């Protein structure tokens, strides 16, 4: 199943996760949370905030939760993908808007006191995107970016998983599984299932498929587990054993279609991650655009692993 590039994020946010780390966590913790808590604490009086590549609003929710109680105003989250259209803030008004590219922001110049982004801005990074962000920032507005770092463990883990998902072995498993299912045919009754189990040719195909599956597991057992392939195969051969051939093939397309969308998100993440040279180029463009760089640092986990880049810039010149 071929997905277009943007569709892969539409699908992800539609499932309801708040963060891009899956639905296992409610929102970001640790070093990332600390960054956004500090930003929210600095809100004074009325603030207009723009969050780029907002997804389902993880950063707007954190900024709202930790904003100084005296703060008022609005946070707008924009994303190129389709994202949730309704999330509610306690202190600030939150609205999320889908289908908006950072390189074409539908806002007046000098509108926002803060432009923020976490793992979003770098996906659309271009000279035009930088100009757009600077255009909508007020004089004295702050830009706070948390961006993927090429040396981070997130990028390393995702690169490994991407290698697994693009491996020819995964493609072979898919093809062997489809072939086996087609050859098995429609097993409408318990007797048909028993007959299939006694059929030596089918037994040979079954063994060939599980041998391919084992090789896939040996290739990278961590990524294999994350991909949920065993569970899907189990489900197909237990719950789905009496489905028609067409139903089984649809199920296989759906499982591998989701893995394909996941693969595209990982590829975008790995491509978006910045190395030191790319960060320097970004800093230069921000300075040329009228910003002072207040902070550029490598954010680390408490165990010392690299997590991200953090950049804070102050726009001192009017657009």
Min separation Cβ 147 and ligand SAM, Å: 10
Residues that bind ligand SAM (CB under 6 A): 9, 19-20, 52-55, 58-59, 79-81, 101-102, 118-120, 123-124
**How far apart (Å, rounded) are the C-alpha atoms in residues 166 and 160?**
10
Token pair belonging to 108: 């007046």
Using a 10 angstrom Cβ sphere, with 0-12 exposed, 13-18 middle and 19 or more buried, the burial of residue 93 is middle
What CA–CA distances, in Å, run from 145 to 94, 116, 156, 219, 302? Answer: 19, 6, 20, 36, 20
CB–CB of 158/222 below 8 Å? no
Min separation Cβ 59 and ligand SAM, Å: 5
Min separation Cβ 145 and ligand SAM, Å: 11
In the bound state with ligand SAM, the residue whose beta carbon lies nearer, of 84 and 172, is 84
Min separation Cβ 112 and ligand SAM, Å: 15
Please give the backbone phi and psi of residue 116, each rounded to the nearest 5 degrees, phi first: -130, 160
In the bound state with ligand SAM, the residue whose beta carbon lies nearer, of 52 and 143, is 52
**How far apart (Å, rounded) are the C-alpha atoms in residues 39 and 310?**
12
The secondary element (H helix, E strand) that includes residue 314 is strand 306-315
3-state DSSP assignment of residue 193: helix
Min separation Cβ 129 and ligand SAM, Å: 7
In the bound state with ligand SAM, the residue whose beta carbon lies nearer, of 155 and 177, is 155
Min separation Cβ 201 and ligand SAM, Å: 47
Instruction: Tell how strand 137-147 and strand 112-118 pair up.
Output: parallel
In the bound state with ligand SAM, the residue whose beta carbon lies nearer, of 33 and 314, is 33
In 234-302 the beta strands, taken as DSSP E runs, fall at 291-300
Instruction: Tell how strand 72-78 and strand 46-52 pair up.
Output: parallel
In the bound state with ligand SAM, the residue whose beta carbon lies nearer, of 128 and 190, is 128
In the bound state with ligand SAM, the residue whose beta carbon lies nearer, of 12 and 180, is 12
CB-CB neighbours of 225 under 10 Å: 12
Which residue minimizes CB distance to ligand SAM? 124
In the bound state with ligand SAM, the residue whose beta carbon lies nearer, of 129 and 313, is 129
Min separation Cβ 252 and ligand SAM, Å: 27
In the bound state with ligand SAM, the residue whose beta carbon lies nearer, of 36 and 180, is 36
Min separation Cβ 96 and ligand SAM, Å: 10
**Nearest Cα to Cα of residue 19 among 56, 51, 74:** 56
């Amino acid at each position: 199943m071929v997905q277009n590039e943007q569709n892969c994020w539409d699908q992800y946010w539609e499932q309801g996760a708040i963060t891009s780390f899956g639905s296992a966590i409610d929102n970001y913790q640790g070093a990332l949370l600390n960054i956004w808590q500090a930003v929210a604490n600095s809100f004074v009086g009325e603030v207009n905030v723009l969050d780029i590549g907002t997804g389902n609003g993880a950063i707007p929710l954190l900024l709202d939760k930790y904003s100084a109680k005296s703060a008022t105003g609005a946070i707008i989250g924009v994303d190129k993908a389709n994202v949730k259209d309704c999330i509610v803030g306690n202190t600030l008004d939150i609205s999320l808007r889908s289908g908006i590219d950072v390189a074409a922001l539908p806002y007046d110049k000098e509108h926002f006191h803060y432009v923020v982004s976490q793992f979003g801005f770098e996906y659309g990074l271009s000279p035009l995107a930088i100009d757009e962000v600077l255009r909508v920032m007020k004089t004295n507005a702050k830009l706070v970016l948390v961006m993927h770092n090429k040396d981070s463990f997130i990028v390393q883990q995702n690169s490994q998983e991407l290698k697994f998902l693009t491996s020819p072995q995964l493609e072979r498993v898919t093809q062997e599984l489809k072939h086996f299912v087609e050859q098995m045919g429609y097993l409408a009754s318990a007797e048909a299932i028993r007959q299939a189990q006694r059929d030596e040719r089918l037994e040979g195909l079954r063994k060939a498929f599980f041998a391919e599956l084992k090789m896939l597991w040996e290739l990278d057992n961590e990524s294999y587990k994350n991909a949920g392939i065993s569970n899907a195969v189990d489900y197909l051969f237990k719950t789905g054993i009496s489905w028609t051939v067409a139903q089984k093939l649809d199920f296989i397309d759906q499982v591998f279609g989701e893995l394909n969308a996941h693969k595209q998100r990982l590829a975008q993440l790995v491509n978006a991650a910045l190395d030191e040279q790319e960060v320097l180029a970004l800093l230069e463009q921000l300075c040329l655009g009228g910003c002072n760089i207040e902070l550029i640092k490598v954010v680390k986990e408490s165990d010392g692993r690299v997590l991200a880049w953090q950049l804070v810039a102050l726009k001192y010149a009017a657009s």
